[in-house]
Amino acid sequence: MSNDEVTAGPPTRTARPQTFTRDLEETRSALEGWLARRRPDALSVRISELNIPATNGMSTETLMFDAVWNEDGTERTEPLVARVAPDPANVPVFRAYDLEAQFEIMRQVSLHTSVPVPRVHWLERDTTVLGAPFFVMEKRYGVVPPDLMPYPFGGNWLYDAPRDRQAALQNATISVIAELHAIESPEGCFPFLDLDRPERSAFGRHVGDWGAYYDWIVADGMRSPLLERALAHIHEHWPREESPAVFNWGDARVGNVMYRDFAPIAVLDWEMAALSPRELDLSYCVYIHWMFQEAVERYGGGADSGMPHFMRPTDALTEYERITGYTPRDFEFFALWNATRYGMISARIGRRAAYFAETPVPDDPDEMIMNRSGIEQMLAGTYWKDKE
């Protein structure tokens, strides 16, 4: 990961909610001792630099550091990244955070695909080291399309790139998704993603699990009329025939990819991986772009501003079909489902911001849903008009 790594956030905010309360010097000392135990063959193990990036994600902590040691009389340096499970006391985004599953997902993806996943080194389950489980992986260097401000607002490398380079990045990202979906026997590679729930299909269990997540975030009594309407719509308009479940990245979007020369060099953030139809990843990748584009059109100057030529549904689905031979279906259904998922997460992030006294709790719970207007338009059947 680089300091440019970010996770999806509110399109119109310019500051990220607080995500950590960690003492850097204590963390450095703990990591140095831990690394020395992990590398007993190395001498004089130390950490020369430790940073918590300003763009630290809201679902976990990211620690970037350079490990330095002596080996055969030569000083060696290795840039590393640690991902630390969130502190339950800090209003985490997710109900549970399975760091071990993420570690295994990255390992399996690297074994079964050519998708560029950072190499994972160590998994630490002992919470006494950093106060929570964590894993350490290699650090890669590249650039990530920014979320704050979102890249369609301009003033960044992707927005300023020629159209053909933007299209190359788009298609390369769709290719990553297609290769992930091609993993054979995903239930065997990722048995922990086969949820223990009563629903009959993998996608049904996926939706049911997110329904339980909604119940969890509204345990404070602030129920969302909009999200409940969207959830009801999902169940009432279920596809007549579900396509087979494949391995889904779950958080598939250009903001979770590090690029070099417009080609992916690191695919990041696996906490929402799932066994579900292919359309889950496809529609999410398209929708997140249009959520940002919608903000540009509303606040930045109309339909011709931003990047309306990027991640158009027809283009993305056609490219996926060209690569795989599979014709995606029920796009609008899955797009609404992904918008609803994102709405749930944003409602939780709103509660987190209130916990850190960064924003007040609104009288209307739906005001905490960052993509509220998009969900409303999808329910009305108007959102995808003129986006094809």
Name residues of the chain where pLDDT drops below 70.
Answer: 1-21, 54-59, 302-303
The DSSP secondary structure of 180-201, one letter per residue, reads HHT-SSHHHH-GGGS---S-SS
Question: Is the four-CA dihedral 231, 384, 339, 168 of positive or negative sign?
Answer: positive
Which residue in 251, 281, 330, 366 is the catalytic one?
Answer: 251
Give the C-alpha separation, 289 to 320, whole Å. Answer: 17
- Centre a 10 Å sphere on the Cβ of residue 91 and count the other Cβ atoms it contains: 17
pLDDT digit string, tens, across residues 225-234 = 999 999 999 9
Q: Is 251 a catalytic residue?
A: yes
Cβ–Cβ < 8 Å for 282, 215: no
- pTM value is 0.91
Domain coordinates in residue numbering, the chain: 24-138, 151-380
The domain defined by 151-380 folds into: Aminoglycoside 3'-phosphotransferase; Chain: A, domain 2 (3.90.1200)
Closest CA to 1 of 254, 268, 252: 268
Domains 24-138 and 151-380 share a fold: no
pLDDT digit string, tens, across residues 93-133 = 999 889 999 999 999 999 999 999 999 999 999 999 999 99
Contacts of 19 (CB under 8 A, 6+ apart): 56, 57, 58, 61, 86, 90
The domain defined by 24-138 folds into: Phosphorylase Kinase; domain 1 (3.30.200)
